[in-house]
Structure 1
Amino acid sequence: MIRSSKRSPLVYLTHATVLFLVIIWTIPTAGLFISSLRDKDQLAVSGWWTALSTSTHMEVDRAEPPSNQVQESDHFVIKGNILHGKSGKISKFGYSSLHPQAYKAGEVAQIRNGQTLQVMPNGDYVLSSPTQWRGRNGKRIFYTAEIPPHFTLNNYKVVLGADGLGQSFINSLTVTIPATVIPILIAAFAAYALAWMRFPGRAILVASVVGLLVVPLQMSLIPLLKSYNWIGDLFGVSSKTYVGIWLAHTGFGLPLAIYLLRNYIVGLPSEIIESARVDGASDFDIFRKIILPLSFPALASFAIFQFLWVWNDLLVAMVFLGTSPDHMVLTGQLRQLMGSLGGNWGILTASAFITIIIPLCVFFGLQRFLVRGLLAGSVK
């Protein structure tokens, strides 16, 4: 008799939930990337989900100044193109802010005293007057245009061409790599001691580590900075150095690292460790030859969290490194770039996507170890 194996509805529900979460987290990243490639004018008036459709813009521009007028027969004419060479199609236009869509493209608008305005669908316009045009500025033309999708790499050119960006990228790597490796090394030793070495006060230390997980960074940042400055003044060392920010990130990352690694190490088979001790291996030999190779999933999990946190950090970097161009990290440099360029959303999205490229590479390179490390010790 052949039994047909049926999957539990819970399995399908789990797969559907995971797929839903993946889509929810992927949509913002896709939107950020699409926005970074869009023209800044289109980005300012429509969302990224309309990037592949034609958008309708109602704008105002000035015609050529009266100094560019030419006389044709008995009229004085000013000609130009309202789209300035950009692709698009004019549907309506007007010469007054009260009626910006009063005329269809191709019609002739009667202004006053025999003056006329005609705007063609391709953006060409003709201003005609029986007398000379006066003034210094050109006449305002209101128009509604259908603009096709336009993608460009100008946003990335502006960001990548900014002064100091390359140095800030190197500074971020200089901060992030040691600030990720140092806490992993320290936490690995501490986690092994708290998991397999017996000594007085071990339970209190474990409880203290768990308690430190809920301490806000902002509450401990100023006392830590004052202590570091006091030590620097005592030994005559400048406080604005990479050593300070390495120690700061190490201190902030150790509670999570110790907690995560201890939960993993304590779940390793005790028979392996006991057999090694019977064979005469010391605690350091057990840690180096057995614990570290078996704990790589947990180490990779914490490395992802710590790298993402340090790479995207701005507050700790500004406090411990300042705003000097020689030490400014990438997030600080991009913040200054945005301040100098105003509310240019194209530059903002391109800057954000450049910032997450390295973390994405780290995450996808180590993500297969992430779930294994986080779920370690949850099932016996």
Structure 2
Amino acid sequence: MAATAGKGFAARWGVHIAVLLIVIVWTIPTLGILVSSLRDRDQIAVSGWWTALTTSAQTGQGRTEGADAQVEQNGRFVIAGNLLEEDDARVIRSFGTRIQNPTEHEAGTAADLGDGVTLQVNEDGSYEQSSPTAFEGNRGQRIFFEAATPPRFTTENYRTVLFSEGIGRSFINSLTVTIPATIIPILIAAFAAYALAWMKFPGRAILIAVVIGLLVVPLQMSLIPLLKLYNGVGTFFGVPAKTYLGIWLAHTGFGLPFAIYLLRSYIAGLPREIMESARIDGASDFEIFVKIVLPLSFPVLASFAIFQFLWVWNDLLVAMVFLGSGSNQLVLTGKLNALLGSRGGDWEILTTSAFITIIVPLIVFFSLQRYFVRGLLAGSVKGG
């Protein structure tokens, strides 16, 4: 008995540790995207998000003033200025006059440039170039330096993405596609699941087998036939192609098999006594469905809503085929795909855009997650 209890304790802790590891693995990338989306673009380019709270080293370059800025002091000609802007918080650690060696001299020391010419660059960016003879030319001395940059966070990336990159319009397009494409399959599947679970009619077993068989049909195989069917019906009835109606119907068709299967498994497990009592009291099938089955089936409805919402929100293929790729039709995933092609080096734009795409799914998931596990345990409800 003690050995059994020990094994049970170890198994429980093993499950808890495994779940914790899974949560950590899935949370770390999300945290990285969030931190990167709030960082300065220059810091993203030189250091990882895990160094966001530490000082990073960055290289830069500048040029001294030309000969017009020189003044004579104590028999020497001096050019003074600053390599950094007034609001620049960087601290220069070292400098050099060759790009191959930007850390040749330590900040605050005077570097000998030959022929009696010296150059001193201080930590605050101020410099002083001195020569025994007058400087000539309008182009100053180029200076390369390495500077310590304190952590800097900004919301400028979000303003750029939401207002300058057309993400806002794509965000609205995604909501317009996703919300109806989640609600419509639930409405249809709920009626179908109740009929297949509790109503007796000829061919019910065949319909159940067909639904199960459709679960294994790849989306890519049915995409083109469905598009041809929709275009043919649309042409016959005068419905224009590339509309929201088309993509709503497409997502409904792709989501119905799984929705019906999941809901039927749950509804079939509801207590038979409740149904029989309602029928004895004179309730019709519609009344039983609306007043008894739907309230009891809310957990499984919420579970499917999470699956369908996430799948439609992250979809790109169906949206490109049924909605198009115009600027007024492009969904959020399509817009991000375009940004990835044209702005591949701007990591601050990509990370900000990526985090924006997961905000809505996270809100949906955490709002319904308490029903998620209960909804997946289809058939676990028992009568009292």
Question: What TM-score, normalized by structure 1, do the two folds share?
Answer: 0.89
Is the CA contact 2:64–2:79 (under 8 Å) kept in the aligned structure 1? no
Q: Match of 2:201, as an amino acid?
A: F
- 1:92-141 alpha-carbon deviations (Å, 9 max, x no partner): 221113333221111222224443332211222334443434365x5432
Q: Match of 2:224, as an amino acid?
A: I
2:175 paired residue number = 173
Is the deviation greater in 185-194 or in 295-304? 185-194
How far off is 1:51 after superposition?
Answer: 0.9
1:19 paired residue number = 20
SS in structure 1 opposite 2:177?
helix
1:125 paired residue number = 127
SS in structure 1 opposite 2:153?
coil
Distance 1:186 1:47 in 2: 47
Is the CA contact 2:301–2:375 (under 8 Å) kept in the aligned structure 1? yes
How far off is 1:173 after superposition?
Answer: 1.8
Is the CA contact 1:91–1:121 (under 8 Å) kept in the aligned structure 2? yes
2:155 paired residue number = 153
Query: 1:297 aligned to 2:299?
Result: yes
1:51 paired residue number = 52
Distance 2:225 2:81 in 1: 68
How far off is 1:379 after superposition?
Answer: 8.1
How far off is 1:214 after superposition?
Answer: 2.7
CA-atom RMSD, angstroms? 2.5
2:192 paired residue number = 190
Is the deviation greater in 15-24 or in 332-341? 332-341
Q: Match of 1:72, as an amino acid?
A: E
- 1:287-321 alpha-carbon deviations (Å, 9 max, x no partner): 11211111000000011111112122222222222
SS in structure 1 opposite 2:172?
helix
Distance 2:37 2:262 in 1: 37
Q: Match of 1:204, as an amino acid?
A: I
SS in structure 1 opposite 2:98?
coil
Give 5+ residue unaligned stretches, structure 2: none
How far off is 1:151 after superposition?
Answer: 0.9
1:29 paired residue number = 30
The structure-2 alpha-carbon separation of the partners of 1:65 and 1:251, relative to structure 1 and needing over 3 Å to count, comes to: farther
Distance 2:178 2:160 in 1: 25
Distance 1:167 1:20 in 2: 37
How far off is 1:163 after superposition?
Answer: 5.7
2:288 paired residue number = 286
2:371 paired residue number = 369
Q: Identity percentage over the alignment?
A: 62
Distance 2:378 2:154 in 1: 46
Which of 302, 307, 310 is equivalent to 1:308?
310
Is the CA contact 2:80–2:126 (under 8 Å) kept in the aligned structure 1? no
How far off is 1:341 after superposition?
Answer: 4.1
SS in structure 1 opposite 2:81?
strand
Is the deviation greater in 262-271 or in 75-84? 75-84
Distance 2:228 2:72 in 1: 78
Is the CA contact 1:191–1:265 (under 8 Å) kept in the aligned structure 2? yes
Query: 1:219 aligned to 2:248?
Result: no
How far off is 1:356 after superposition?
Answer: 1.6
Distance 2:291 2:325 in 1: 44
Distance 1:60 1:116 in 2: 20
Is the deviation greater in 243-252 or in 337-346? 337-346
- 1:174-230 alpha-carbon deviations (Å, 9 max, x no partner): 211110100001111111122222333333332332232232222322222222222
Is the CA contact 2:78–2:128 (under 8 Å) kept in the aligned structure 1? no
Is the CA contact 1:318–1:332 (under 8 Å) kept in the aligned structure 2? yes
SS in structure 1 opposite 2:53?
coil
Query: 1:134 aligned to 2:128?
Result: no
Q: Match of 2:321, as an amino acid?
A: V
1:62 paired residue number = 62
Q: Match of 1:18, as an amino acid?
A: V
Is the deviation greater in 26-35 or in 240-249? 26-35
Which of 331, 350, 354 is equivalent to 2:356?
354
Q: Match of 1:344, as an amino acid?
A: D
Q: Match of 1:242, as an amino acid?
A: Y
1:110 paired residue number = 112
Q: Match of 1:119, as an amino acid?
A: V
SS in structure 2 opposite 1:111?
strand
Is the CA contact 1:172–1:311 (under 8 Å) kept in the aligned structure 2? yes
Distance 1:67 1:336 in 2: 48
Q: Match of 1:180, as an amino acid?
A: T
The structure-2 alpha-carbon separation of the partners of 1:299 and 1:102, relative to structure 1 and needing over 3 Å to count, comes to: same
Is the CA contact 2:310–2:361 (under 8 Å) kept in the aligned structure 1? yes
Which of 233, 236, 241 is equivalent to 1:234?
236
Q: Match of 2:62, as an amino acid?
A: R
Q: Match of 2:188, as an amino acid?
A: I
The structure-2 alpha-carbon separation of the partners of 1:155 and 1:365, relative to structure 1 and needing over 3 Å to count, comes to: same
Aligned runs of 1:73-92 on 2, under 5 Å?
A: 73=73, 74-75=76-77, 77=79, 79-82=81-84, 85-92=87-94
Count of aligned positions: 374
The structure-2 alpha-carbon separation of the partners of 1:223 and 1:133, relative to structure 1 and needing over 3 Å to count, comes to: farther
SS in structure 1 opposite 2:143?
strand
Distance 2:245 2:207 in 1: 26
